[in-house]
Amino acid sequence: MSKRVLHAEQEESVASLLKTLFLARGHDVDQTTEGATAVQKLIDSEYDLVVVGDQLTDIDGIGLIAKLRQINSQVPIVFVAKVWRDARVYRQLVKELRVTLIFHRPIKAGLFGAQLESIFDPQQAMILGELGPEEATLHTLQANYLRVLPERVFKLKEAIKQSQTNAGDSSQLVETIRLAHNLKGTASSCGFGILGESAGSLEKALSAIKEGGLAHYEAAWEEIDLICGLVTTNAHAIAENPASRVDKRAFSTIEAPGDQAHTLPPSQDGEEALPQDNFDTFGLSSAVRVLVVSREPMASFKRLPNETKHQAVQVICCQEKADALSIAQKLSLDAVLIDIDTAAPGPSLNLARELRSLPGYDNLPVAFLSTSKQQKYVEDSTHAGASLMLELPFAANILDDAIDYLVNARQGGRPRILILDDDLDFCDTVSTALGQEGMLVRAVNEPVDIMALLHEFHPDLVMLNISMPVVSGYDICRVIRQDSHYQDLPILFLTSQTGLETRLAAFEAGGDDYLPKPVARVELLTRVKVRLERARLLKERSNKDVLTGLLIRRAFMEELQEMEEESQRNGLIFTLALIDVDHFKKVNDTYGHVAGDQVLSQFGQLLRKRFRVEDVRGRWGGEEFVVAFRHIQNDTARGALERALEELRLLTFTGDHGENFGITFSAGLASYPEDGTKLETLIRTADHRLYLAKEMGRNRLVSAG
């Protein structure tokens, strides 16, 4: 059906592009470059849509939108922005000026067209999943979803009352439609198909009121009351007998939020159990999992919600080394804090080394809890892999910040999934499903600061909802793809719109895949795992040295460049060490090339398991290696390397004919900014000092001269 569009835009190229797009879709369009003319046109005529550019000849776009809203509070408005703005501006556009869609340039016809039609035709198709989980997961689903369902229904009924009372408030009606839409999608995804269908009928009826301008007609609201009564009846029926109404295609559970304002039926008796493995149905399965090994009373370490970082934290406590190793082998840990006795630090240092030597834990972040920060202990802890030395006693917020630092410093470990969706219940559902598979999940509902979030969380995969009230998933995806660091980051779109145009638009925006809402558990997990595995293989093949497992020279230099830029921005320090295996040619000539490969492989393994997770290690070429120690001075890095050299001297290698031999290394160190502020200068200085170490007889470190 043809629609009438008013388009206000100063730039001729943009105006021409959008006019062509509107006409190709059968819509009529009036265009102007002046804000005053746009205002007069809206006074004189009726339009189905108004599109406003960033700048007009006589007023800026946001100022024009404010004037247009004074004339017409109902017409949908699309704002085509030239630049990204901060979160405050977006909230003002959506909440105060009631902008329907914000689209960012450059404009891609397919993307813009798909979003345009979603405004004209808001009805969205729904695909039910076909496969489901085990009965135990369904039982947990019933209990947990019932915790949030009463509040969801209550909020929906209140929103309907407000929409009927304030019939002229289009923004209130849009919010009511959103609540019905979320109830439909999440209820269906969780297996309550009857409730989802009735909520879908309610969404359609509310959308018909909005599209037809029927908000002032009593008969329309009588129909809404009837459908809302059906939704309420279905919700009560589920509460009374959930098992008989669970769709066996349901895929996940919903973790209850904090205290609820409404009474809820009881779920399960008894105390909450600790997780038993990585596939449990424990509520915090998607949370950060931290092990604390301490003689301090257990009450000192509680679970930390860390809500400012949108990430739950689960702290598991134990006192003995054997328990710590057992827990680490049973669960996937994201960080460990170890109490260290400065009078006898050996046991704690050895525990850190043993934990880092377990399969999959060579990049496990470690912190020590101590009453002293003497230089000797800092060097020992750096060698053992400790990123932090926390001085006891400390305030609760210090522990919270420390855990946040450790988790963000880690690369590798549990797969990290970032979900951006305004539907809180759906986020909880997907987070729990992925968490039960051992993944670390962070869900965000206002994704306007997306780049800062990516730099902080380092996700391995991003899931984006296409339709969000502030910024669309298409625009977020395009912004991510503009950064070269994230061009290979897997991005999956979540959408209730399953038409061909929507799917094509998702790929055109830079997405790798899309999932229809509601989703089947098996499809969700399969697609996510496949994308993660492909991304992992691509990264390893392009960045890792096969023999040593360390970064190749190109990849190391990219990391080092980022470290230099970070240090320049924030006034930080770092130390660079060039390392050479002593007399390596003699090893090859005397003991064979297989023995030589064994030396390089084990030395690479030693470097991976020692030092801190935020330190960067690489193979410089041949028998040369390189380590960049982040945020620490020359003396500390030297002390940690000396301990690694002592450890290497104790290792015994076997030649091709059974001979035993040992090796050592030489190293040269240079620090930023003490020895230079340019990478070329630092590398040249470290290389010169490595040469001095060889001249002095090898088997040593040189950090000056």
Of the two residues 20 and 56, the one the predictor is more confident about is: 56
The predicted-structure confidence for 552-572, as pLDDT tens digits, reads as follows: 999 999 989 989 988 998 899
Homologous superfamily of 288-331+335-409: Response regulator (3.40.50.2300)
Indicate the CATH number for domain 135-245: 1.20.120.160
Walk across the sheet containing 461-465 and list its strands.
440-444, 416-420, 461-465, 491-495, 513-516
Structure token pair of residue 3: 């629609």
Phi, psi of 194 (to 5 degrees): -65, -45
Please give the average per-residue pLDDT across 615-635, as a whole number.
93
Most confidently predicted of 166-170, 173-177, 674-678: 674-678
Q: Decide if pLDDT at 257 tops 50.
A: no
The share of the chain scoring above pLDDT 90, in percent, equals 29
The closest alpha carbon to 185, from 466, 386, 578, belongs to: 466
Kindly indicate the confidence band of residue 242, based on its pLDDT and cuts at 50, 70 and 90: low
The mean pLDDT of the chain is: 80
Q: What is the pLDDT of residue 508?
A: 85
> CATH homologous superfamily for 553-702?
Reverse transcriptase/Diguanylate cyclase domain (3.30.70.270)
pLDDT, tens only, 109-137: 767 777 777 777 655 433 333 333 444 44
pLDDT at position 165: 86
Residue 42 near residue 50, CB atoms below 8 Å: yes
Return the pLDDT at 130: 34
Q: Which of 262-271, 322-331, 394-403, 647-656 has the lowest mean pLDDT?
A: 262-271
Contact 568, 616 (CB under 8 A): no
Domain 288-331+335-409 and domain 553-702 have a common topology: no
Q: What is the mean pLDDT of residues 6-20?
A: 88
Place of tokens 């808001």: 122
What number of CA atoms fall less than 13 Å from residue 6's CA on the CB side?
25
Helix or strand (DSSP H, E) at 663: none
- Residue pLDDT, tens place only, 179-203: 888 787 777 666 677 787 788 888 8
Please write the tens of the pLDDT for every residue from 337-377.
998 887 788 888 889 889 988 887 888 888 888 876 666 66
* pLDDT score recorded for residue 269: 38
- 270 has pLDDT over 80: no
Most confident listed range (89-103, 402-416, 527-541, 577-591): 577-591
> pLDDT higher for 680 or 117?
680
Read off the tokens for 539.
Answer: 């990264």
Q: Which range has the top average pLDDT, 88-97, 247-256, 365-374, 675-684?
A: 675-684
Average confidence (pLDDT) over 68-96 = 85
What pLDDT shows up at residue 209?
A: 86
CATH of 4-120, one of 3.40.50.720, 3.40.20.10, 3.40.50.970, 3.40.50.2300: 3.40.50.2300
User: Which of the two residues, 246 and 658, has the higher pLDDT score?
Assistant: 658
Domain 416-539, CATH: 3.40.50.2300
Alpha-carbon separation of residue 295 from 340, 390, 553 (angstroms) = 10, 15, 43
Residue 81: count of CB within 10 angstroms of its CB:
20
Report the C-alpha gap between 231 and 233 in whole angstroms: 5
Q: Is 544 exposed, middle or buried (0-12, 13-18, 19+ CB in 10 A)?
A: middle
3-state SS track over 524-573? HHHHHHHHHHHHHHHHHHHHECCCCCCECHHHHHHHHHHHHHHHHHHCCC
CA distance 249 to 522: 10
Per-residue pLDDT tens for 401-459?
Answer: 787 778 777 666 678 899 998 888 888 888 888 887 778 888 888 766 788 888 888 89
Q: φ and ψ at 30, to 5 degrees? A: -105, 130
Residue ranges of the domains in the chain?
4-120, 135-245, 288-331+335-409, 416-539, 553-702
Q: What integer pLDDT is reported at residue 641 of this predicted model?
A: 94
| Token reading at 57 | 């000849």
What single letter denotes the amino acid at residue 542?
S
> Phi and psi (nearest 5°) for 614?
-80, -10
Using the predicted structure, report yes or no on whether residue 173 has a pLDDT greater than 80.
yes
From CA 148, how far away is CA 429, in angstroms rounded? 12
Distance, C-alpha 212 to centroid of its chain: 40
Question: Residue 145: what residue type?
Answer: Y
Handedness of CA 80, 83, 84, 89 (dihedral sign): negative
pLDDT-based confidence at 490, cuts 50/70/90? very high
